[in-house]
Each structure stands twice: as structure tokens, then as C-alpha cells.
């Protein structure tokens, strides 16, 4: 089995970059192998970027391979936590964005 293909996003995952990033994701999935998506350098992510993550998971599954997020920036963890989708993604190292914040009560 070939090693997973790694795709690293260095730009923000926002509506302004969504079309180009979607093309990158689909092109990477066309290779027909598992995909590792490195989001460690993503400083900002909005709903369009989040939808790209959902697209990557869905398209990989439809093609018989996997798409995994292998590095999460704080912004990415925050959005995944906001949508309560950590279980859906099931990727390692997804830690609640609220972890480490002072506990009130």
C-alpha cells in the first residue's frame, strides 16, 4: 500500500481561498491514495474552510480511501470544537479548543 499523500495548506481556509483549495483537495484525492491534510499553518478558517474539510472526508470515502487531518492549528481546533465535530473527524490530536482555558465556577 502506498504511503499517504500529504497536502499542506499554508493559506487561510476562508471563502477567499476556498475554490483554489477545493481544487487542490480534489486533485490530491484523484491520486487514489490516502490523504494526510496538514493544517498546522492555517491561521484562520471560516465556514467555507470547514466545508472543505467535510468534502475531503466525504470524497475520500467515496473513492475508497481516507483523508485525515494530521496537524491542527489552534484556529482549526476551535472551529471543529465550535461545530462539535471532533467525533466525526476522528483524527488524532483533535483537542478541545477550550482546553487550557481557565475554568470558571
Over pLDDT 70: what percentage of the chain? 85
Residues 6+ apart with CB under 8 A from 105: none
Rg (CA), the chain: 14
- Cα dihedral sign, 44-70-10-57: negative
List pLDDT tens digits, range 45-96.
999 999 999 999 999 999 999 999 888 899 999 999 898 888 877 766 544 4
> What's the pLDDT at 34?
95
Amino acid at each position: 500500500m502506498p504511503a499517504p499523500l500529504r497536502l499542506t495548506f499554508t493559506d487561510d481556509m476562508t471563502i477567499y481561498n476556498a475554490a483554489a483549495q477545493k481544487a487542490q483537495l480534489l486533485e490530491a484525492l484523484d491520486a487514489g491514495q490516502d490523504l494526510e491534510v496538514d493544517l498546522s499553518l492555517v491561521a484562520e478558517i471560516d465556514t467555507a474552510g470547514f466545508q472543505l474539510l467535510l468534502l475531503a472526508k466525504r470524497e475520500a470515502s467515496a473513492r475508497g480511501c481516507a483523508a485525515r487531518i494530521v496537524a491542527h492549528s489552534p484556529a482549526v481546533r476551535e472551529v471543529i470544537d465550535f461545530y462539535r465535530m471532533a467525533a466525526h473527524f476522528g483524527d488524532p490530536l483533535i483537542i478541545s479548543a477550550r482546553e487550557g482555558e481557565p475554568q470558571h465556577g
